[in-house]
Structure 1
Amino acid sequence: MKFYKLIFTSTMIIGTLVTISSYSWMSMWMGLEINLMSIIPLLKSANNQFPAESAFKYFIIQSIASTGFLFSMILNFNLIEQLNNFFNLTINIIFYMSILTKIGAAPFHAWFPEVLEGLSWSKCFIMLTWQKIAPMIIILQNFKFNFMILIIIMMSSFTGSILGLNQISLRKIMAYSSINHIGWMLASIPSTKIIWFLYFLIYSVISLVIILTLNSLKFYFFHQLSFFKKNKTMNLLLSLNFLSLGGLPPFLGFFPKWLTINFLIINNNFFLALMIIIFTLISLFIYTRITFSSLTLLNKNHQMKEITNPSSLLIQLNFLILSSLVFCPIMFNYF
């Protein structure tokens, strides 16, 4: 069992590396397909039927997106000499639609929360972080800031904020949070690629800490946080990490948004900066609700077995992530 997981994990990593190191469209598409065919066996579980359903949904959506990507690539290869601006724009739209569907950006996001809902926390982390690397690199290499990208950024920020308000599943909250952060990542690309890299790295680290904590506690739904009274230290750290994920200063999650807003203002994109800030305040309300639920509400009518104390390494990692904002501006200015 572990041997086949090792093989498919290796090929999943190889597929992503093939895509991000490619110099041609065909090798990019091949890397995406290798990655897709490798992660499908990793998503299924013999103990539960829901991962199989999520894997099937994921395969269907990714196959349709890969078909659109291949279709735009073939049109670009064969008909570029005969195309006018209208058809070039059409190819561009097909290309962006397929890649944005792969990463789950709005309005092509409907599959993403449903797929995450049926997965374990470890598989959710792969879907939230690693599976977005290859499509985002393709966007980075072929990025043109236009009206379509502006709409996608605002729709992703708006959708990730509004649709997360009425969710009781923590996995769906993380999914809509990812959609909101996709809008910020796309907004950070026109400035410099290092801003996108820092944003994605910090988002991945914060998501890792939150998912490790929730996985160790076996929490999957919002109401379970009201039981979180056994370990007050981890209760506080988890709440602060959610606020950091929302970009509240003085936590680390504020740093990449700070840089993104700075470069948007430098490039005179005042309207876009204002809109994504407003939508992020809505998503911050979701994390504030989670914090109040776990810190201030005490439910004495429910009993729960003793929660296993998380390891000291997890606690140290939480402290490190929460306090790193002090050093980030110093390091950024130095380098």
Structure 2
Amino acid sequence: MFYMHKIMFFLSMMLGTLIAISSYSWLSMWMGLEINLLSIIPLLSDSKNLYPSESALKYFITQALASSIFLLAIILSLNLKEQILENFSFISLLLNSALLTKIGAAPFHAWFPEVLEGLNWSYSLVMLTWQKIAPMILIFYNCKLSMFLFLIIISSTIIGGILGLNQISLRKIMAYSSINHISWMLASMLNNQTTWLIYFLVYSIISFNLIIIFKQYQLYYLNQLFNTLNSEKSIKLTFLLNFLSLGGLPPFLGFFPKWIVINNLVLNNFFLLSILLIIFSLVTLFFYLRITFATIMINFSEAIIILSHKIKFSIFFVNFISLSGLLICTLILNFI
């Protein structure tokens, strides 16, 4: 049963994001972020989560710290308006650090996998997608071609790739995968907002596809994959293809935004950055393949009569749209 207070807090959370991204002043942006934060805390405290109090408290402390730094940067910029040109780099550093902490970009990422580990899949999807919208757009407003941003992109792609290798929890794997994708989203901002929007939409679609499979079968750890998906051949193939799409392999939809980002980086002579992104994207692809190959290749003794879940048509439809998305995008772009 979906209670009325959850609907109220969920709508309030969305309202906070919309206030933040549509505001004209930094102070009202901060207010929007605070409304968003105060609305999601009761949702994270839901008893259906694995560790509701722990996740909610960790998230609140981290976001409150980031909001305090954000507000400090706003106050400094208002009080030092005569010397704003001299102090702009420092104020910009504070603003961007606070916003990067809110989205969980490395090296401000330590809270993100821990919070995600205590949530169920529904709230994990909110954390992986919706909660990144407002801080990302605010970073775009203040996005400068600085060494700081390059370091954040490089550290996010390295940490997201390497720390995901030794995980057995699917939620932590999705968290480190998200950190790696944050580096691609920040790199897409170096060109224009449309590239970021395409990347974010495609990432959200693929994450949604994977998470509805995880949610339906109550999968949280790798050993559950081997037991469950071996009795569901059709969903196993869909699961494999979605992970390949998330890793950015052609001919799946996940390749399309990475293709655009790499193209823009090369055109703007960011060769080293594009090489690092590609290399550590291959590392994430390695642990995706390790999951899927183990699911496919390890032999389990299967029962002759299998009482399986009924696969919903909506799951297959959404997955079909996602997996054939690159073909659709290519055809549309050819006719435009």
Settle same-fold status: TM greater than 0.5: yes
Change in Cα spacing, 1:170 to 1:49, as seen in structure 2 (3 Å) is: closer
Aligned pairs for 1:51-66 within 5 A: 51-66=52-67
Amino acid across the alignment from 1:14: L
TM-aligned CA deviation for residue 297 of structure 1: 0.9
Give distance in 1, aligned partners of 2:284 and 2:179: 11
Give distance in 2, aligned partners of 1:64 and 1:219: 33
Comparing 44-53 and 281-290, the one that deviates more: 44-53
TM-aligned CA deviation for residue 46 of structure 1: 2.8
Q: Give the equivalent residue in structure 2 for 1:224.
A: 224
Contact 1:160–1:179 (CA under 8 A) maintained in structure 2: yes
Q: CA RMSD in A?
A: 1.8
Give distance in 2, aligned partners of 1:297 and 1:92: 51
Give distance in 2, aligned partners of 1:48 and 1:213: 18
Comparing 162-171 and 134-143, the one that deviates more: 134-143
Q: Secondary structure at the match of 1:275?
A: helix
Q: Give the equivalent residue in structure 1 for 2:47.
A: 46
Q: Give the equivalent residue in structure 1 for 2:150.
A: 150
Which whole-Å deviations, capped at 9, do the CAs of 1:65-86 have from their partners, x for residues lacking one? 000000001001111313563x
TM-aligned CA deviation for residue 209 of structure 1: 0.6
Give distance in 2, aligned partners of 1:333 and 1:80: 49
Contact 1:231–1:309 (CA under 8 A) maintained in structure 2: no
* Alignment of 1:197 onto 2:200: no
TM-aligned CA deviation for residue 52 of structure 1: 1.7
Q: Give the equivalent residue in structure 1 for 2:322.
A: 321
Contact 2:170–2:222 (CA under 8 A) maintained in structure 1: yes
Contact 2:158–2:280 (CA under 8 A) maintained in structure 1: yes
In the superposition, the TM-score normalised over structure 1's length comes to 0.96
Change in Cα spacing, 1:55 to 1:268, as seen in structure 2 (3 Å) is: same
Give distance in 1, aligned partners of 2:263 and 2:219: 36
Q: Secondary structure at the match of 1:327?
A: helix
TM-aligned CA deviation for residue 304 of structure 1: 12
Aligned pairs for 1:112-151 within 5 A: 112-151=112-151
Contact 1:65–1:101 (CA under 8 A) maintained in structure 2: yes
In the superposition, the TM-score normalised over structure 2's length comes to 0.96
Change in Cα spacing, 1:49 to 1:116, as seen in structure 2 (3 Å) is: closer
Q: Secondary structure at the match of 1:268?
A: coil
Change in Cα spacing, 1:116 to 1:302, as seen in structure 2 (3 Å) is: farther
Q: Give the equivalent residue in structure 1 for 2:7.
A: 6
Q: Give the equivalent residue in structure 2 for 1:74.
A: 75
* Alignment of 1:237 onto 2:238: yes
Give distance in 1, aligned partners of 2:83 and 2:115: 41
Contact 1:153–1:187 (CA under 8 A) maintained in structure 2: yes
Comparing 121-130 and 286-295, the one that deviates more: 286-295
Contact 1:187–1:260 (CA under 8 A) maintained in structure 2: yes
Contact 2:12–2:35 (CA under 8 A) maintained in structure 1: yes
Which whole-Å deviations, capped at 9, do the CAs of 1:279-325 have from their partners, x for residues lacking one? 10000001100110111112339999844132011012112211111
Give distance in 2, aligned partners of 1:126 and 1:304: 37
Give distance in 2, aligned partners of 1:333 and 1:159: 37
Q: Secondary structure at the match of 2:269?
A: coil
Aligned pairs for 1:154-233 within 5 A: 154-227=154-227, 228-233=229-234
Give distance in 1, aligned partners of 2:173 and 2:194: 27
Amino acid across the alignment from 1:109: H
Amino acid across the alignment from 2:52: P
Give distance in 2, aligned partners of 1:301 and 1:230: 7
Q: Give the equivalent residue in structure 2 for 1:19.
A: 20
Comparing 211-220 and 292-301, the one that deviates more: 292-301
Give distance in 1, aligned partners of 2:217 and 2:185: 30
Which whole-Å deviations, capped at 9, do the CAs of 1:165-201 have from their partners, x for residues lacking one? 0000000000001000000000001212111000000
TM-aligned CA deviation for residue 239 of structure 1: 1.0
Amino acid across the alignment from 1:183: S
Change in Cα spacing, 1:197 to 1:304, as seen in structure 2 (3 Å) is: farther
Amino acid across the alignment from 1:99: L
Gap runs ≥5 in structure 2: none
Contact 1:226–1:298 (CA under 8 A) maintained in structure 2: no
Contact 1:217–1:307 (CA under 8 A) maintained in structure 2: no
Contact 2:230–2:236 (CA under 8 A) maintained in structure 1: yes
Give distance in 1, aligned partners of 2:295 and 2:271: 36
Change in Cα spacing, 1:30 to 1:177, as seen in structure 2 (3 Å) is: same
Q: Give the equivalent residue in structure 2 for 1:34.
A: 35
Contact 1:12–1:39 (CA under 8 A) maintained in structure 2: yes
Amino acid across the alignment from 1:176: Y
TM-aligned CA deviation for residue 205 of structure 1: 0.5
Amino acid across the alignment from 2:255: F
Comparing 138-147 and 29-38, the one that deviates more: 138-147
Q: Secondary structure at the match of 1:208?
A: helix
Give distance in 1, aligned partners of 2:333 and 2:96: 31
Q: Which runs of 4+ in 1 moved over 4 A?
A: 301-305
Amino acid across the alignment from 1:64: L
Give distance in 1, aligned partners of 2:288 and 2:122: 21
